[in-house]
């Protein structure tokens, strides 16, 4: 099975900078974004997309409207296609990003889930509004304890999706995954960007400050003015969620910024926790060492 280079790490760890330096050194590289938010158009500042001159070398960025859904299954199919296209063209694919679930779908296999049932989804969301996510989580524990044990009890996106699949098929999503798992086409070489926690937190704070200076408030306001609902999964994420609360007059801007920084730090710890469970085990190295190992791998391929 052919190996593919994957640069992983928590948010603000410097993955994009390393990707840019790989591109400078090699040239014949295609960068494949593994990020569940960078897929959305019009959401540039809040997702920390690469600058325009680098973005043209990326794939799977700006491929969905914020009102559309994009799953790990969608990513696995799209990324596999992009990797194969790059290899046929004599280019080196490098997967870059921090969405662990997407990596698992691409390199550990995924199952072909039933298509989204919008009517059923609407009913589940109405139930969540009426009864609370706790009730839906309790139901998931009853019908699919395996999945319930793997998701956070307030992760409404995965809870509702798991219930949606169960009510569509009559089978738990955990069972379907075992029955219909699609075998991956490539094996990853995971190089993880290792930073001291204090250094990472400093970088997170600086990044959030840059986002505000670059116009995150204005970007969020524009998205709402275009009619995008603040309840969309794309906007119900760290950064946009807090700015929306500020625009709605619920909190002050300073409090929104403080919450973004705090929640991003918590999110970075969660990312690291889940990344350490990837298979095969990632090699965690300082940024300069990640670059050296990446270039050595590409030279030997």
CA angle, corner 8, sides to 91 and 261, nearest 5?
135
* DSSP per-residue string spanning 58-125: EESSS-B-TTS---HHHHHHHHHHHHHHHHHTT-EEEEE---HHHHHHHHH-EE-PPPP-HHHHHHHH
Beta-carbon contacts of 145 under 8 Å, excluding residues fewer than 6 positions away, are none
The segments of the chain whose pLDDT lies below 50 read none
Distance from CA of residue 169 to its chain's centroid? Answer: 27
Question: Is the separation of the CB atoms in 282 and 192 below 8 Å?
Answer: yes
> Model-level pTM?
0.82
> Tell me, what's the pLDDT at 111?
66
Question: Is the separation of the CB atoms in 12 and 268 below 8 Å?
Answer: yes
In angstroms, the Cα distances linking 87 to 8, 34, 118, 179, 263 are 21, 18, 37, 31, 38
Cis bond leading into 136, ω under 30°? Answer: no
> Tell me, what's the pLDDT at 112?
66
**How far apart, in whole angstroms, are the C-alpha atoms of residue 288 and residue 301?**
20
DSSP code of residue 196: -
Beta-carbon contacts of 7 under 8 Å, excluding residues fewer than 6 positions away, are 15, 18, 19, 22, 94, 95, 96, 97, 191, 193, 290, 294
**How far apart, in whole angstroms, are the C-alpha atoms of residue 108 and residue 126?**
34
* Domains contained in the chain, CATH given: 3-111+182-300 (3.40.50.300), 118-179 (1.10.20.140)
DSSP code of residue 37: T
* Helices 240-247 and 253-275, axial angle in degrees (round to 10): 160
> Tell me, what's the pLDDT at 181?
63
Distance from CA of residue 237 to its chain's centroid? Answer: 11
Beta-carbon contacts of 206 under 8 Å, excluding residues fewer than 6 positions away, are none
């Amino acid at each position: 099975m052919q190996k593919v280079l994957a640069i992983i790490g928590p948010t603000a760890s410097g993955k994009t900078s390393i990707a840019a330096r790989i591109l400078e050194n090699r040239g014949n590289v295609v960068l494949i974004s593994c990020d569940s938010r960078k897929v959305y158009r019009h959401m540039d500042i809040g997702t920390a997309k690469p600058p325009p001159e680098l973005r043209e070398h990326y794939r799977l960025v700006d491929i969905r409207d914020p009102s559309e859904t994009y799953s790990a299954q969608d990513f696995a199919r799209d990324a596999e296609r992009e990797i194969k296209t790059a290899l046929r063209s004599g280019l080196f694919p490098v997967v870059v990003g921090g969405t662990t679930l997407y990596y698992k779908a691409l390199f550990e296999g995924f199952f072909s889930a039933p298509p989204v049932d919008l009517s059923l989804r609407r009913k589940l969301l109405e139930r969540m509004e009426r009864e609370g996510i706790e009730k839906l989580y309790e139901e998931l524990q009853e019908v699919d304890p395996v999945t319930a044990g793997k998701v956070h009890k307030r992760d409404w996106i995965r809870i509702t999706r798991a219930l949606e699949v169960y009510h569509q098929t009559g089978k738990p999503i955990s069972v379907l995954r075992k029955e219909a798992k699609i075998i991956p086409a490539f094996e990853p070489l995971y190089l993880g960007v290792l930073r001291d926690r204090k250094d990472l937190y400093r970088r997170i704070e600086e990044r959030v400050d840059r986002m505000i200076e670059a116009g995150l408030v204005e970007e969020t306001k524009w998205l709402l003015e275009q009619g995008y609902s603040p309840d969309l999964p794309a906007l119900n994420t760290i950064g946009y969620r807090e700015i929306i609360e500020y625009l709605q007059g619920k909190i002050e801007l300073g409090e929104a910024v403080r919450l973004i920084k705090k929640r991003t730090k918590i999110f970075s710890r969660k990312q690291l926790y889940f990344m350490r469970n990837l298979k095969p085990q990632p090699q965690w190295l300082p940024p300069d060492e990640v670059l050296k190992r990446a270039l050595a791998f590409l030279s030997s391929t």
